[in-house]
Structure 1
Amino acid sequence: MTARLADLLTTIDRLWPIAGAEPWDAPGLVTGDPDAPVHRALLTVDAVAETVDEAIAERADLVIAHHPLLLRGVTSVAEDRYKGALVARLIRAECALVTAHTNADVVEAGTSAVLADRLGLLDTAAIVPSSAGDLGLGLGRVGRLPEPTTVGRLARMLAEILPPTATGVRVSGGFDDRVETVALCGGAGDSLLAEPVVRAADAYITSDLRHHPASEAREQARLSGGPALLDVSHWASEWLWLDTAAEQLRAAHPELTVIVSELRTDPWDFQIVQ
């Protein structure tokens, strides 16, 4: 039996309901005919030139990307602009594009939950629970390590768990400071720095920490306590989720070949440490 794109869209909405996405987000079908058959799907964090090349080379009928290609106001898909060029290439290759973004962050086996599981966190709950009141649904995760460790050892653990990137793991905190409770948010999470469970944690892991939010959190921690900050690659923190998503899709559609892209779409190529 061959699945249609419409069948996959139904499954995707069951696994990562679009109703759970943030109001500003743009998940769902970007391009593709819902009646078209789908034999092969490629999962990736980013729909960029390299992953579109990979999808076409793999003869994929569908790309499922975590990050939306057309998130902000796009007024042209002319092919002299990279987004238009990618959309045109996908259409010509008869390869659909679907995105699952914040709707894939907030579910029970979403991006932050997968990272928490890889760290072995126990008794996890969402940092910002969903309106449904289920502790397993919502943005971010907080939990405790099986055994206390230090900030330095936690950073090294992250470096082993995450795929390598040029930026590695940046840390604000004492190397030997004790860590037992860990809060984390896959992707950009400085908006959660003021959340009470983050402030109460020993360490907070996220990505894209900007100077001012990180500096303010550090100064507040010196005054009244707060977590060490561990800043990791945005791409790497969410790439771990792809394997879980692939397994869910394979279970729902055994007839479908699901490929996880191994390509690094982190935008940074190298770093010179002074």
Structure 2
Amino acid sequence: MKITFVGGGNMASALISGLLKQDFSTEQIGVIEINEEARARIQATFGITALADMTDGLSSDTQNSDSHVIMLAVKPQQLQELAQRMKGLLGGQLVISIAAGIRSSDLIRWLGGYQRVVRAMPNTPSLVGAGVTGLYAAPEVNDQDKRTAESIMKSVGTTLWVDDEDMLHTITAISGSGPAYVFYFIESIQAAGIKLGLSREEARELSLLTFQGAIKLANAGNDDVAALRARVTSKGGTTEQAIATMDADDLQNRIIAAVFAANTRSREMSDEFGQQ
């Protein structure tokens, strides 16, 4: 199987690194990237071929191969023009798009009705092999194509399939945007630590190690996180006081509202891109 990445940014680089660690050869991976500096970086980092021209990158010797995969790893704003340029180069490849917010129906329309399309919504921890990717397959995609898409995205973490494409908005709001919520909370705890006398380095280390340990504990068993929180919250203790302060500000409902706002914005963006 040969995989051709259209776009050579950070997420493409993460996927290439993951695939090479899964024993893909450099000959099985190609990149089409118009930016000369990015092409040079990809070639130097991975030793794979990176071309500027799409026609050369999707050459006739692979064009009709059922095992060939095209990974669209460009910004959403670039995808319509790119898809329309690709129309004459498609001949049986599986097309996987990681462009956020572009509905499969719109991508299929831009590709001239080409149906063999999978949408993938990875998040930024994929850059360190700890990502989670939501996946949706267009109706014409077969089981083998789904397995292929899943194996590629599992090279950078775990995957979750959804039968309803609208659920990708929920995945975007939770795991796509979620790392930023976590970083925001860590940032706030670090700021408190500094104000309470820790150095910047000490506050960073203490906050990060606390989050790492809490996640490890949550993953160690089947206990609900609410139960884990309750075990730390001794009556009359420091944790109870901190949680009471958060509850007084209705923090949990504010967080829920924030996730709903992200979900709404994801839907709006899909509508905006779809009008192109």
Q: TM-score, normalised by structure 1?
A: 0.27
Structure with the higher fraction of residues in strand conformation: 1
Instruction: Flag the structure with larger Rg.
Output: 2
More helix by share: 2
* Higher relative contact order structure (alpha carbons within 8 Å, sequence separation ≥ 6): 1
* TM-score normalised by structure 2 residue count: 0.27
